[in-house]
Chain A
Amino acid sequence: MNSVDASEHYELGAPDLSPSLLTIVIDTNPHAWAVLEDSLPLSKAIANILVFINAHLACNYANEVAVVASHSQKAAWLYPSHSEPQYRPADHDGDVTMNGTSDTTTPKTNKYRPFRIVEEQVTRNLKELMDSTTGDDLRGNMSTMLAGALTLALSHINRRTLAWAEEHGGANTEDAAADGNGGGTTSTNRYSASNEDERLQSRILVVSVSGSTDAAHQYIPVMNSIFACQRLSIPIDVCKLSGDAVFLQQASDATKGVYMALAEPRGLLQYLMMAFLPDQRSRRHLVLPTRVDVDFRAACFCHRRVVDVGFVCSICLSIFCEPPPGGDCMTCGSHLDIRDNAKPALLPRKKKKKKRVNGASGTGTPMSTPTPGP
């Protein structure tokens, strides 16, 4: 629109670089951390992550950070803790901040304040989270609430993006004008990545330890979050300490984030500082350690298994690992024709043909394939 009223040239002055919001999702699944106990205990990992957070905060005075714990039975905020305002006054007087840090009281006054606040809140909330975890919670539950943590992180990013756009209204005038015209349907415009440089730069870092096969029941919500990130152009970086995460690979691939599986978990801080610190703007000038081979398997709706070959209902695109009983789709209820089941039924027919051929030649199928190979 600027080209119309020739006001383009007024915006040529170098704009302030917008700050970035780093949201860290820490997988705190106790089962997985217990396995890592020898190489990298949780406490040490948290210390490393806190150093990393400080580095991020130091990059730009306006940089923001948020930390979500994806625990085994719930997802919870570590920083900023939203429920704090009521919780703190419950302690009667202003000394509350000391309360959380009673273990390390003395040298705190010399610390840069944002560093201290993050550190205090994260450690205190994490401790509370761990204390609130009972044995019963852990017994039946091996997975982690990744979908919830991602959704919380996204809600927070949305809130901060809106708030930031309001504070810096000038940056988005063109969009706002268009929105004025668009009126009722502003949101799609606001959410679409129209002018990336002028928005709050957000990214999500997932520090993951759990295997994803346990999380197969969250397939749909996780994928929904991934698409939301893709739409908002928020990269999901994945720092994988153990196990292998099928869906997280897809997440970082779809959102153009960094995926790293650490061969040596003890070097966590080093990896974090080298690979995950640069924000989107700097990343354009870097050669990023991305993963080239991506696991694109999906989870079936019926048994929550991770599959690479599945049966797909042509009506609703639900994935099943085996033909549903009675030929009725479990999701949309439509009857799937037995006749159309012929597609999978084609397979045995083909095999039969092969068998006849094999019968003549006298060898099994696996033998016949290598021969033309070399």
Chain B
Amino acid sequence: MADSDEEYVGEVTEDEDDLQVTRGDNSRARRKQRGGAEWELSRTWETLVEGADGTINSTVEGLLEAGKRKRLLKDTTPLQRGIIRHLILILDLSQSMSEKDLRPTRYLLTLRYAQEFVREFFEQNPISQLGVLGLRDGLALRVSAMSGNPTEHLTAIQTLKTQDPKGLPSLQNGLEMARGALFEFSHTPSHGTREVLFIYGSLLSSDPGDIHRTIDTLISDKIRVGIVGLGAQVAICRELCTKTNGGDETAYGVALNEQHFRELMMDVTTPPAAYSQKESASSLLMMGFPSRTVESSPSLCACHSKPSRGGYLCSRCNSKVCSLPAECPSCGLTLILSTHLARSYHHLFPLINWVEVPWRRASRSSACFACGLSFPSVPPEDHWQTAENQTKGMSVSSRYECTACHNHFCIDCDLFAHEVVHNCPGCQSRSNPLHSGARSQTSGGVDTMV
């Protein structure tokens, strides 16, 4: 339906506007219509150029590096993201998952990626809750309950590997169970998001009732649904995603291949941007960061009145609670493990992107500042231009520079610093915190934000 509409609009503009504009419009409309199918047109072999020695080694390496780099160049402007998420992951365990169009099978690959998803999800959203459901034989079954502990989910998904996919899936049953699980925590706080992610391999849904009614309740409960399809686009899935995401279609993606499947799933681990200021009531909360103690003799904890030796002492009134996060039973102070908060700080102060270094400035360094990998030496000046033409999306000199400390790094350290450590080795190991050193990262973040 939507497709034919767009084409029609394109034809109308053709009549009204001049030729060049219509051509632009037309192609855009066509591209839109094709959706994710653009990849079919990219001729990867044409980008290969033989090097001086007759091999394609250098180009291949260049392409690899460009790929790494592309992944890195993300937007570093801080924006408000909802990192307290409540997400239900629903896996299709029906017979359509035994297809082998994704290697080794859809089923095994889904389970593998689901495990990676769980790890990555808690890496990105440390104070969030996750639950896993499965769809099999027309029923929704609970794989693991809502919890914040990744190992529980991982072992639960692991046990699925020994079972076989069978029967038909039911979207509606899955959605209803997910809705129940999201509200099972009746205290699901208003500041968290409520999300459902389907991995859906089937092209049908055998439902016991009217799914549109379920969709309406999802909308009123403010639950966002995302779907990763494995076969082809399904109208009801699309409608479900569009309606529950306020008209945004991007939550529905169909995997083209294994890599694309993985990317679609991993995209969901990034905390969603909060829709508006209003949605999350901004307030200043007083919180305690208690330290863990172990006593020589057991004593009762204030929360469950169970005898235990280890526990956390409330930083204000010293009553003992056995696990965190918790609200102190006697003084009402919110007690939280400071590491839970600190895990999210790299979202708050993202490391600025490093810039590529042209040959002109490359002579300053001969080795990566952090790991000591030696850089290629600077060629004579007349070779600069040709070298620059060969490389796209990567640094000619294989050097990347932090704009704050002006040290040069290799691509691997660049990746590592931005994806894992979230620190700049140069800025952190420089003297004088008064000027820029350790504080530069912080103040930089604040500046861009204000």
Contacts and interface: CB of A to CB of B under 8 A. Distances in A.
Nearest to B261: A181
Given A155-B425, A231-B123, A250-B339, A335 B282 contact: yes
Nearest to A249: B291
B103 interface: yes
B280 to A, nearest CB: 7
Interface centre among A86, A183, A316, A340 (most CB of B within 10 A): A316
Given A334-B282, A337-B282, A225 B291 contact: no
A82 interface: yes
Contact of A83 (B277, B290, B367): B367
Interface in B302-346: 310, 312, 315-316, 332-333, 336-339, 341-346
A337 B285 CA distance: 11
Interface stretch (B216-224, B391-399, B409-417): B409-417
A65 interface: no
B286 A156 contact: no
B80 A309 contact: no
Given A331-B446, A340-B281, A307 B289 contact: yes
B425 A1 contact: no
Contact of B263 (A141, A152, A185, A327): A185
B431 A137 contact: yes
Given A73-B432, A296-B337, A181 B372 contact: no
B420 to A, nearest CB: 5
Interface string B177-205: 00000000000000100000000000000
Interface in B263-285: 263, 266, 277, 280-285
Contact of A296 (B280, B338, B442): B338
B262 interface: yes
B294 interface: yes
A90 B83 CA distance: 53
Nearest to A159: B371
Interface string B119-163: 110010000000000000000000000000000000000000000
Interface string B385-424: 0000000000000000000000000001101110111111
A221 B285 contact: no
Contacts of A323: 284
B292 to A, nearest CB: 5
Interface string A294-317: 111110010000011111111111
A148 B415 contact: no
Interface in A330-360: 330-337, 339-341, 343-344, 346
Interface stretch (B87-95, B354-362, B433-441): B433-441
A14 interface: no
Given A145-B429, A292-B310, A314-B191, A192 B283 contact: no
A35 interface: no
B371 A75 contact: no
B287 A295 contact: no
A314 B291 contact: no
A107 interface: no
B62 interface: no
Interface in B72-107: 78, 80, 83, 103-104
B59 interface: no
A54 interface: no
Contacts of B445: 331
Given A86-B366, A140-B434, A296-B290, A327 B315 contact: no
B370 A151 contact: yes
B263 A224 contact: no
A304 to B, nearest CB: 9
A287 B368 CA distance: 40
Nearest to B409: A155
A320 B263 CA distance: 37
B281 A147 contact: no
B285 A312 contact: yes
Nearest to A297: B289
Nearest to A182: B262
Contact of A155 (B68, B277, B413): B413
B263 A184 contact: yes
B114 interface: no
A311 B285 contact: yes
A228 interface: yes
Interface in A167-194: 178, 181-185, 187-189, 191-192
A250 B71 CA distance: 31
B36 interface: no
B125 to A, nearest CB: 12
B428 interface: yes
Contacts of B292: 292-294, 296
Please provide the 3 A-B residue pairs with the shortest distance between their CB atoms, ordered closest to farther. Answer: A340-B283, A148-B429, A82-B372
14 contacts: A148-B438, A151-B370, A151-B428, A155-B371, A156-B370, A158-B371, A158-B416, A184-B67, A221-B441, A228-B422, A295-B291, A296-B289, A308-B291, A314-B284
Interface of B: 67-68, 70-71, 78, 80, 83, 103-104, 108-109, 112, 116, 119-120, 123, 191, 258-259, 262-263, 266, 277, 280-294, 310, 312, 315-316, 332-333, 336-339, 341-346, 348-349, 366-368, 370-374, 412-413, 415-417, 419-425, 428-434, 438-439, 441-442, 445-446, 449-450
Given A220-B441, A314-B191, A331-B445, 19 more contacts: A73-B432, A80-B372, A82-B371, A151-B423, A154-B416, A155-B370, A155-B417, A155-B421, A159-B370, A182-B259, A183-B67, A184-B67, A187-B71, A192-B116, A309-B289, A312-B286, A314-B281, A317-B83, A341-B284
